[in-house]
Structure 1
């Protein structure tokens, strides 16, 4: 009798443990051959395509994003044609400036850390991760981890990638630790441009 009760409790404990471990994240590999990358998203992302004006011209921007609870995982791709490839670094500088100025202007902070990314062919290249906190009324409201990557194309153009996770309703002042947990690391480490 004691053994059967013990087995029943053990079975119940295992069932509770397994149901508690059922993932809120349903990881899947997403291939975007047109934008020349492969990524790992925590759910099926929505896709958006639009033209963005830049210095009197239109550039194509592609966005794949998914919201899971308080997190938005996204990859933005901007295609810079060969005759305008010299603008790529200026575009990244403007994107960075906009986000970093917003964070600092709110009383938040920015931490920049050296990182690496791997291409689809597993070559490693240096990059930087930006850990950004945006404050309101003296409290951190949002945190973001973002990485910008430039990749040349065979035709002489450039792809600009922005991989980011935005965490809403943040309450942790250690943004680097908060945005370096496994689910965030997986997203960044498994983004592979060509």
Structure 2
């Protein structure tokens, strides 16, 4: 009887090990000109950002897995709006960096590379942010911004990020260097 229980327990543990919490899938977004490897099926939200008396289209694809939110935010600026890109990017970065009480220059960052759909490797930076505590929950984030010229001479601005919420503070750089997070960043492919 004890042997049968041990066999059943072993089988249950093996089956649970075969059911990972991360269900990696490549998500193609031709309208936003990228592909990404998400750890689950993301939801998509579209909205218009009011910016300098204009409506700027923004798309967000995100999935929540336990304490983490994996997301890709996309903004497309038309050819006539392209001159807005530097200031809009600065504002997007500033909003996050201010919440973490750092600047672009003082934030913990590492040099990184991303690969385009045509396999070109381009330098970028990843930022590791730790936000002020809002009670019992600590928040940290790894974020990357990529700007690309569109075929219509417009501009694409991508924000790739993972937000981690947990009761204890983590070392953001070490935590987000784990494979589950590195895959998400490494497999983002803009056109």
Determine whether 1:20 maps to 2:17: yes
Checking the alignment, whether the CA contact within 8 Å between 1:143 and 1:170 is kept in structure 2 is no
Decide which moves more: 15-24 or 161-170.
Answer: 15-24
Decide which moves more: 14-23 or 156-165.
Answer: 14-23
Cα distance between partner residues in 2 of 1:98 and 1:12: 50
Question: Cα deviation per residue 1:9-33 (whole Å; 9 max; x = unaligned)?
Answer: 5785354134134201111110000
Determine whether 1:175 maps to 2:162: no
Map of 2:95 onto structure 1? 98
State which of 42, 62, 66 in structure 2 corresponds to 1:69: 66
Checking the alignment, whether the CA contact within 8 Å between 2:42 and 2:62 is kept in structure 1 is yes
**What CA RMSD, in Å, does the superposition of the two structures yield over aligned residues?**
2.3
Determine whether 1:143 maps to 2:147: no
Partner of 1:82, secondary structure, is: coil
Matches within 5 A, 1:42-61: 42-61=39-58
Checking the alignment, whether the CA contact within 8 Å between 1:110 and 1:133 is kept in structure 2 is no
Scaled by the length of structure 2, what TM-score is found?
0.89
Cα distance between partner residues in 2 of 1:175 and 1:63: 23
Write 1 or 2 for the structure with the bigger share of helix: 1
Matches within 5 A, 1:155-194: 155-169=152-166, 171-194=168-191
Consecutive unaligned residues in structure 2, runs of 5 or more? none
Map of 1:87 onto structure 2? 84
Checking the alignment, whether the CA contact within 8 Å between 1:134 and 1:143 is kept in structure 2 is yes
Question: Cα deviation per residue 1:14-61 (whole Å; 9 max; x = unaligned)?
Answer: 541341342011111100000000011111111111111111111100
What is the total number of aligned residue pairs between the two structures? 187
Larger Rg: 1
Consecutive unaligned residues in structure 1, runs of 5 or more? none
Map of 2:128 onto structure 1? 131
- Superposition misfits of 4+ residues, deviation over 4 angstroms: 5-12, 137-140
